[in-house]
A and B are shown apart, each in its own frame.
Chain A
Amino acid sequence: MMLPTLHLPALPKPLLRLTAALPAWPLTPPTSRAFAFAANLAAWPSLRELDWSHVHGRHFCVQVSDIGLQLFFTLHADGFRSERRSRADVTFTASSADFARLALRLEDPDTLFFNRKLLIEGDTDLGLTVKNMLDAVELETAAARMPAGLGHLVLALRRLALKD
């Protein structure tokens, strides 16, 4: 199948150079690219030690329901890669606040599921595998490996939320 190309005559030259450096730009939603970039920066340093070989190349979608955001990505030996097309073996759907609470280890996914705030569609086993593997990573270790400042921020946010 021929992929359509995007004509961008009106963009200034520096931006054109930037888009040229992003070969998947025409079809990869920028949000997926931004997510993969951020995930590689913040999470991959603590996730890379785990054995992800059985999920390599599987297609994930994270759907943030309240802001209508869909993130498509795969996981490989070198980290997260954004996906060109909207396809997923497993899709996680929740609100931005609930995803944030999950990421900060403030909420249990089963609790959110029982309360209908989290939906896992598609390959359930793949979804559970990823959930369980993420659970096995210690937040403090992950935070210590995040870029300077970000790890402190994550732990501070968690402490703040626990005080409420």
Chain B
Amino acid sequence: MPNPPLLELICPAGSLPALKAAVDNGADGVYLGLKDNTNARNFSGLNFDEKSLVEGIRYAQGKRRKVLMALNTYPQPATLPRWHKAVDTAATLGVDAIILADPGLMAYARKTHPQLRLHLSVQGSATSYEAVNFYRERFGIQRAVLPRVLSLAQVENVIENTDTEIELFGFGGLCVMVEGRCLLSSYACGDSPNTFGACSPGHAVRWEQTPKGMETRLNGVLIDRYADNEKAGYPTLCKGRFEVQGETYYALEEPTSLNSMDMLPEMARLGIAAIKIEGRQRSPAYVAQVTQVWRAAIDAVKKDRTTFKPLPAWQTALAKVSEGSMNTLGAYYRPWK
């Protein structure tokens, strides 16, 4: 039996050039989606049609890298055939795994394509080993992507009690701490990320430079105003500044990016199967820059995790491409837990 995977580097691909950038810079696998609402990055012009998907699979697998297809939205009764067709396409074209959130879709995939490897999406929001094991027993899930809400001590508790491979987010934009269950974008725009496939879709977003600063509006509602020298964040409700009892501040969540590189030795010790980089909506340049840095870091930690220390140049490169003004370890580091 082959060794279980350890710290595979899984990078985002919103286009064929991004996929090639990931592969060329050392990703062990890429994750991607189709050009529709079967995945949670359903932005205009982004993602793969069948032609680019075939080419992407050929390119990645030709270099012995994996292609994981995200089908991580929740189908509605009227459009269910679209999701089934997407699963069939993934199986026919030979992706290495599909990433699912909806149990009904897992049941379909399991029954129709029993050879197809299934991963549980972060949108499935499984935060305990009981939940992960449920998906494994019922649908044969072989890997679970844990939401970015657990401390590493909690992650360890999951790992100790399941045979399912565990994938963690290593870097990228952070969501408010109810992943897969968030209704804020739906509240503001009328489209739920879990069905429409996009948080703060472009049609609802307006940016405008005004004498007071750059204003961001979501469906007409002012959600933030940036002074000239302030770093900006994505136009999501959770990262807006609001007036609460006479004070204007980030009332829900500050625009920050996750950067868990400091925790890599601990992740290696725990036997984390894969590290995921967020950002399918980003351009090939971002994918190339971030993949390169994380490849070097993972290689270093695998060589000797006791002496591992992130190089300042890596952190500078990552800080530059980050959303908001700071990087954080997110929930992973909670000494009081």
Chain A residues engaging chain B, CB cutoff 8 angstroms:
93, 105-111, 113-116, 119-122, 124-133, 135-139
Given contacts A110-B282, A124-B207, A129-B45, 15 further A-B contacts (CB under 8 A): A108-B285, A109-B283, A110-B323, A111-B286, A111-B321, A114-B231, A114-B321, A116-B230, A119-B207, A128-B45, A131-B45, A132-B43, A135-B284, A136-B52, A138-B20
User: DSSP class of A's interface residues: helix, strand, loop or mixed?
Assistant: helix
| B167-179 interface bits toward A, Cβ cutoff 8 Å, 1 = contact, 0 = none | 0000000000000
User: Is A138's CB under 8 angstroms from B16's CB?
Assistant: yes
Q: How far is the CA of A73 from the CA of B127 in the complex (A)?
A: 50
- Assembly CA distance A108 to B281 (angstroms): 10
State the Cβ distance, A75 to closest chain B Cβ, in Å.
Answer: 13
Kindly state the separation between the CA atoms of A108 and B229 in the bound complex, as whole angstroms: 19
Residues of B within 8 A of A (CB-CB), count: 39
Bound complex: CA A133 to CA B205 (Å)? 19
Q: Report the minimal beta-carbon distance from A114 to chain B, rounded to whole angstroms.
A: 5
**A114/B201 in contact, CB under 8 A:** no
A-B contact count (CB 8 A): 98
Contact partner of A116 (CB less than 8 A), chosen from B232, B284, B320, is B232
B202 within 8 A of A: yes
Q: A128-B202, A138-B16 are in contact. Are A110 and B283 (CB under 8 A)?
A: yes
Q: A105-B285, A108-B282, A124-B207 are in contact. Are A136 and B17 (CB under 8 A)?
A: yes
For residue B281, which residues in chain A have a CB less than 8 angstroms away from its CB?
110
Q: Which residues of B contact A121 (CB under 8 A)?
A: 206-209
Most chain B Cβ neighbours within 10 Å, of A121, A125, A130, A135: A135
Min distance, Cβ A151 to any Cβ of chain B, angstroms: 16
**Which B residues from 180 to 219 make CB contacts under 8 A with A?**
201-203, 205-209, 214
For residue A66, give the distance in angstroms from its CB to the closest CB of chain B. 15
Given known A-B contacts A113-B232, A128-B202, A135-B18, A120 and B207 have beta carbons under 8 A apart: yes
Q: List 19 contacting pairs A-B, 8 Å CB cutoff, sorted by A.
A: A108-B283, A108-B285, A108-B286, A110-B286, A111-B285, A111-B286, A114-B233, A114-B321, A121-B207, A121-B208, A125-B202, A128-B43, A128-B45, A128-B202, A130-B45, A132-B43, A136-B15, A138-B17, A138-B20
> In the complex, which residues of chain A have a beta carbon less than 8 angstroms from the beta carbon of B46?
132, 135
Point out which of B20, B44, B320 has the most chain A C-beta atoms below 10 A from its C-beta. B44
Chain A residue nearest to B288 in the complex (CB): A105
Nearest 8 A-B pairs (CB), nearest first? A132-B45, A125-B202, A108-B286, A129-B44, A136-B15, A129-B45, A124-B205, A108-B283
A110, B208: Cα distance in complex, Å = 16
Name the residue of chain B whose CB is nearest to the CB of A122: B206
